Amino acid sequence: MKLNFSFLLSCLLCIGPVACAAQAPSFPPSPRLAITAAGLAQIKAAPDFSMAREAALKAGDALLENPITLPEGFGNWIFYYACPDDGATLVPLSLTEHQCPIDKKIYTDDRTVSAYRAQLHYGAESAAQTLGWAYAYTGDDKYVVEEKRILLKLAHDYPNYPARQDRWGHTGIFASLGGRRFVQSLDEAVGIISLAKGYDLTRNSPAWTDDEKKLVEDDLFRLTASTLLTFNQDINNHQTWYNAGLMAIASVLGDAEMVEKVLTMRGGFHDQLERSIGADGLWYEGSMAYHGYALQAMREIVDAGRRMGLPLQNEPKFRAMIEGPLRATYPNGVFPAINDSDPISISIFNDAFEWAWKTYREPIFAQAAAWKNPAKLAELLGPDAKSQWPLSAHSENLSGAGLAILRQGEGEATTNIFLDYGQHGGDNGGHGHFDKLNITLFANGREWLLDPGRLSYSHKEYKTWVKQSAAHNTVTLGGASQQATTGKLLFLQQGKNFSACATQSDGAYPGSMLTRHLFLTDKMLVDVYDVVADKETQIDWFAHSIAPVLQRIDAKTEGAEATPGTENGYQHLTNALSWQTDGNTQWDFVSDADNPAAPRLRLWLAGKTPEEVFTAVGIGYNTGQKAPTLIRRRNAKTTRFVTVYDLSGDAKYVWGVRAEKSIKVATSDGDWNIEFNKKGAKGILSPLKP
């Protein structure tokens, strides 16, 4: 028996969470990456194969009739292919001239031209996979000829790309995120999967010579693997894709040692499952966009492994990654855009849900895949199946992501609060925002209080607005943004007719303590935000909405023109007015300025502490979307902001608020008396007398 010393050594080095491969991979004849021979035969035997074949033919023939332009050189960061003034994607006039569609300026600089080459590289990757499927479904070598043109060109060019560079101009050992075919190894990792699948689907064709295959395998695939292995990114989402790219390369090369490395190294598949995925199944960076991005890579690894005889799909944390998003949506299926995310819906995971249904055969995944699609539900679960949504109906703590979620009500009428107390977008914080104890609010079938997400990395407002504390529904001290930190959950409880939670942070402003208590019924939210600072300072409390109108209800005077601030995000708060107040005031976010009966969110700002209240206009989910903003300002060392939100939609539920030792709220249901302590909340409703 021949001992595999590299395997034994890797197992000896498996320390802590890093797992060792349980069995060796097998390498059956191609295809074995994009699909197996048995899987391809099953597709061809299916009744609807003629439709799939026709679609593959149409796509492949289009590439033969109009061959893609192959890049002459490396590709720069794709986000550089944008107008620097407005962030609009440029339009190519030629390989060297690129125009902004808004201001019509033409750019010919090296950065823009090389960023456009990134698009050409992407096109080559997509074409390679499309041609591969056209050949797999037809066996026609004409598709292989074009496949060879793409892969041989890239193989000839790869050794001549810069040794290593990144988008900031660093080279060599200083370019840890850099690459060769692209200025990001991330792009190389993602792209090599499509190229490997195209090769895997076609290399049995006699149109390939042995010398050509050797060139592609050595100078494209092995050299790309060397690039991906140069710098390990630990548990970063980049490393997830490095692993997926390496797994694809290992499959087409039949390299068992590379498979072992992907599975067992620090930052490898098993290590990432252990350290990147929380107990709630969510990706550690706290963004559903990046959860989906990482899950795509993990599925690539799992599928490649399955086709090599490795049952990676049975890893519990991997399965939890697919189920996790179901616990983190609003009732309408949309995720709050926390950290570097977007206002995306659960539908972005449909492929993963259907994959999970076929793999695990559990109805929860079929229900998720068929969300708002009765025909799909009947197809997956039978004609008598009934839709179940939302799949998560109770208040809960997603401890990995650091999200306390309060839910009250039923079905799509459920009211949701998301309170973000967790780590700053992961340990490295690259995709986190300075927004500890930020909330988002969904009621009456719509989102009222938003997190703006990331806009776009090509917008200057990504750094000057969305990353800043002033862009979020939390507090700032001294007009400065918070520091990166992790808060903690004090309690979360689900009562009979309410739910409540409390979170705390002592690191957002060193020497200061932020504590937020929430009490939610189906028609009302009580929000108590306590600030204890190390010295007297300006303390601002924010509420941002995508409702187009913000009105003061009890105003006796017009607000005075004002400027809330000039930096740290404040510079984006425009058209500001201010009022000096002393006692309760009422403010409405209104969903339709032209309809007096339109749903509205009323805020009761309670308490006897004098404060300055501002109304202003911030930025919503894009730079053209206006987001009315309400700001409460006090100068103090210690203060408590009490806010009661009327969630009825017509602002007729809450009749009055009194903030003393306990919070007393008069409503159309009766009088609520609400108290908070270290262990929980107590809410007593005294119904109206008949």
**Each residue of 401-448: pLDDT tens digit?**
999 999 998 887 899 999 999 988 765 568 889 999 999 999 999 999
> Is the pLDDT assigned to residue 18 strictly greater than 60?
no
Q: Which helix (H) or strand (E) holds 640?
A: strand 626-646
628 and 548 in contact (C-beta within 8 Å)? yes
Of the candidates 285, 309, 198, which has an alpha carbon nearest to the alpha carbon of residue 233?
A: 285
> Is the pLDDT assigned to residue 540 strictly greater than 60?
yes
Number of helices and strands in the chain (H, E) = 17, 24
pLDDT at residue 224 in the model: 98
565 and 479 in contact (C-beta within 8 Å)? yes
Percentage of residues in the chain having pLDDT higher than 70 = 96
pLDDT band at 22 (very low <50, low <70, confident <90, very high): low
What does the pLDDT look like over 375-413, one tens digit per residue? 999 999 999 999 888 777 799 999 989 999 999 988 878
pLDDT band at 4 (very low <50, low <70, confident <90, very high): very low
Taking the CB of residue 560, how many other CB atoms lie within 10 A of it? Answer: 12
Q: What is residue 51's three-state secondary structure?
A: helix
Q: Which domains are present in the chain?
A: 44-250 (1.50.10.100), 397-687 (2.70.98.70)
What does the pLDDT look like over 569-590, one tens digit per residue? 999 999 999 999 988 999 999 9
pLDDT at residue 12 in the model: 33
pLDDT band at 556 (very low <50, low <70, confident <90, very high): confident
What does the pLDDT look like over 317-370, one tens digit per residue? 999 999 999 999 999 999 999 999 988 999 999 999 999 999 999 999 999 999
Spatial distance between the Cα atoms of 181 and 527, rounded to a whole number of angstroms: 52
Peptide bond into 390 cis (omega under 30): yes
Sequence-distant (≥ 6) Cβ neighbours of residue 14 within 8 angstroms = 20, 264
Spatial distance between the Cα atoms of 548 and 628, rounded to a whole number of angstroms: 7
Read off the tokens for 685: 């409703």
> Is the pLDDT assigned to residue 3 strictly greater than 90?
no
Phi/psi of residue 173, nearest 5 degrees: -70, -15
162 and 171 in contact (C-beta within 8 Å)? yes
Of the candidates 248, 206, 351, which has an alpha carbon nearest to the alpha carbon of residue 25?
A: 248
Amino acid at 12: L
What does the pLDDT look like over 251-270, one tens digit per residue? 999 999 999 999 999 999 99
What does the pLDDT look like over 138-191, one tens digit per residue? 999 999 999 999 999 999 999 999 999 999 999 999 999 999 999 999 999 999
pLDDT at residue 15 in the model: 36
pLDDT band at 506 (very low <50, low <70, confident <90, very high): very high
Q: How many CA atoms lie within 13 A of 227 on its CB side?
A: 34
What does the pLDDT look like over 627-636, one tens digit per residue? 999 999 999 9
> Is the pLDDT assigned to residue 17 strictly greater than 70?
no
Phi/psi of residue 132, nearest 5 degrees: -60, -45
Q: Between residues 392 and 449, which one has the greater pLDDT?
A: 449
635 and 536 in contact (C-beta within 8 Å)? yes
Read off the tokens for 664: 């007393």
What does the pLDDT look like over 200-240, one tens digit per residue? 999 999 999 999 999 999 999 999 999 999 999 998 899 99
pTM comes to: 0.87
